[in-house]
Structure 1
Amino acid sequence: MRSLDKRVAVVTGASSGIGRATAKALAAKGCTLAIADVDEGGLAQTARELEGAGHTTHVVDVSDKQRMLAFADEVEQAHGPAHIVVNNAGVTVTDKLEDHSLEDFEWIVGINFWGVVYGCKFFLPQLQANGWGAFVNLSSMFGLTGVPKQSSYCATKFAVRGFTESLAIELANENIDVISVHPGGIRTNIARNSRGAPDDKRQQVIDWFDNHGMKPETAASKIVSAIEHRRQRLVITREAWATDIVKRLYPAIPRRLAGWVVRNRELL
């Protein structure tokens, strides 16, 4: 079991939701935080809620390669080499492919996938310098199964899953853990900030997340425990667990069920 006290932890997408909650949970374990987001105001609020001292905030677009490279340098200069990197920043687009703009596709790939790649690539030398570390890469329940009107989101989250599994094998002998995280419905702003969906449909999804989603603090507690216990894979929420099990045992069922929902209930 890893001790997190006095370790340097990096969290992207830390202005709200899982990112904010994970940053707070790591700070409570004694970590010094470098938190990043494009939302400067939300980032400042997260910083005010962190236990301890010495934490830093960084306005970062994770899809920007040069900015991510500079961010890694900023963290090392401020805190020394990072031990833990939580690549959490993520967005979604809700649209059929025929209506989905290529610009939105490029936008989501830049944040959801390239942001994870940059986070691992540019911070890897720091974890290697420490002799141990952990990358935590946020995939999704939608990185386990395809969902209609989420083709770009699923594509990025499947990509994160494959990238994470490959990297974990590469680093298996370097004392660096690489954890793939697959949350289901969490009460975050991702649905509220979604691009593409008509307002009436978006509100249905937002209402479901608000009424039925897991608290981000609960998800964060599980993520921190996974880091401590050196897990390689973490599936969060009952619906994510059910999807994972059914997908393994009966691969065609989730696809048929999603098709039935679209045809009969028009929720997506």
Structure 2
Amino acid sequence: MNTLMDRTAVVTGAASGIGKALAQRLAEEGCHLALVDIDGEALERVRAELAPTGRTVSLHVANVADRLRMLALPEEVLAAHGHVHLIVNNAGVSVAGRFEDVPLEDMDWIFGVNFWGVVHGCKAFLPYLRREPEAHIVNMCSSFGLLGFAGKTGYSATKFAVRGFSEALRAELLGSPVGLTVVYPGAVDTNIVRTGRAVSDAQREAEARFITGRAIPASRVASRIVRGIQRESARVLVGLDYHLVDWMARLSPEMSQAVTARLSQRMPF
């Protein structure tokens, strides 16, 4: 997209973390915002923080895993803004625990948000994005979509699914006015683990501490996403360590899996 000024952006998971930081960054670039989250009270606080930017901000309480709710969302956004030029499918949740200990219900839950939430957002908004001279989709993946780690089977599975879906969709959109960027951040300073599900409180806290010690500021991720949109980048990786992970996974999948397995033995969770 040549410019974000006076464009309308839909951001899911906008009440906290990367979504909140991205809403602020997009507003600074001149975007009007349709903010989506399951937490309506937190959305109101974000809107209050964005008030000084002077941008039009609409709030939409929705669970991205709810197909009917998501399919109804574009009409609400159009009623509030008249157009939609950008959707960022950012909403995500975490499950902490080894596969044998994780209930299948938790696997259903994480796939509903992390994978189906992305699919729902793309399916709902793509027809409206195609109406614009230029538009863009951003799908949030993860470094766990590059390599699988012990204790993150559910999370990794959803992110690998997002990666495959997004790469195929980008290929389908080539030559159209709609671009697509997939974002691969490493550990980010958010509460996704502490507010997620876990096989035990000890498991949740151990993983949260591990991530906090290596966390990238959400504002940095937001800035990289905006740059990726402006450049129509296919992929945005955030964090030097995760560029190395990506390189290793591409160079030698077998070696990368062996290294990952050894590292997993040292993980505190």
Q: TM-score, normalised by structure 2?
A: 0.95
Q: Equivalents in 1 of 2:214, 2:45: separation in Å?
A: 25
Name the counterpart of 1:14. Answer: 14
Matched, 1:218 2:233: no
Name the counterpart of 1:39. Answer: 39
The answer (yes or no) to whether the contact 1:7–1:32 under 8 Å persists in 2 is yes
Name the counterpart of 1:232. Answer: 234
Q: Equivalents in 2 of 1:98, 1:209: separation in Å?
A: 22
For these two proteins, the number of residue pairs brought into alignment is: 267
Name the counterpart of 1:161. Answer: 163
Q: Structure 1 residue 254: deviation in Å?
A: 3.0
Name the counterpart of 2:103. Answer: 101
Q: 1:224-263 counterparts in 2 under 5 A?
A: 224-263=226-265
- Which portions of structure 1, spanning 4 or more consecutive aligned residues, are displaced by more than 3 angstroms? none
Name the counterpart of 2:189. Answer: 187
Matched position secondary structure for 1:89: coil
- Unaligned 5+ segments in structure 1 are none
Q: Structure 1 residue 188: deviation in Å?
A: 0.7
C-alpha change, 1:267 and 1:176, in structure 2 (3 Å) is: same
Name the counterpart of 2:268. Answer: 267
Q: 1:17-166 counterparts in 2 under 5 A?
A: 17-50=17-50, 51-166=53-168
Matched position secondary structure for 1:129: coil
- Unaligned 5+ segments in structure 2 are none
Q: Equivalents in 2 of 1:86, 1:25: separation in Å?
A: 13
The answer (yes or no) to whether the contact 1:143–1:155 under 8 Å persists in 2 is yes
Work out the percentage of aligned pairs sharing the same amino acid. Answer: 42
The answer (yes or no) to whether the contact 2:186–2:242 under 8 Å persists in 1 is yes
Q: Equivalents in 1 of 2:49, 2:255: separation in Å?
A: 43
Q: Structure 1 residue 266: deviation in Å?
A: 4.6
Q: Equivalents in 2 of 1:159, 1:207: separation in Å?
A: 27
Q: Structure 1 residue 93: deviation in Å?
A: 0.7
C-alpha change, 1:212 and 1:174, in structure 2 (3 Å) is: same
Q: Structure 1 residue 45: deviation in Å?
A: 1.5
Matched position secondary structure for 2:100: coil
Q: Equivalents in 2 of 1:223, 1:3: separation in Å?
A: 14
Moved more, 92-101 or 172-181: 92-101
Matched position secondary structure for 1:191: coil
Q: Equivalents in 2 of 1:155, 1:211: separation in Å?
A: 24
Q: Deviations over 1:31-81 (max 9, x none)?
A: 000001011122112111222232101111000011101111100111112
Q: Equivalents in 1 of 2:202, 2:124: separation in Å?
A: 41
The answer (yes or no) to whether the contact 2:64–2:70 under 8 Å persists in 1 is yes
Q: Equivalents in 1 of 2:35, 2:158: separation in Å?
A: 23
Q: Structure 1 residue 154: deviation in Å?
A: 0.9
Q: Equivalents in 1 of 2:267, 2:19: separation in Å?
A: 31
Q: Structure 1 residue 200: deviation in Å?
A: 2.4
The answer (yes or no) to whether the contact 1:137–1:164 under 8 Å persists in 2 is yes
Q: Structure 1 residue 123: deviation in Å?
A: 0.4
Alignment RMSD: 1.4
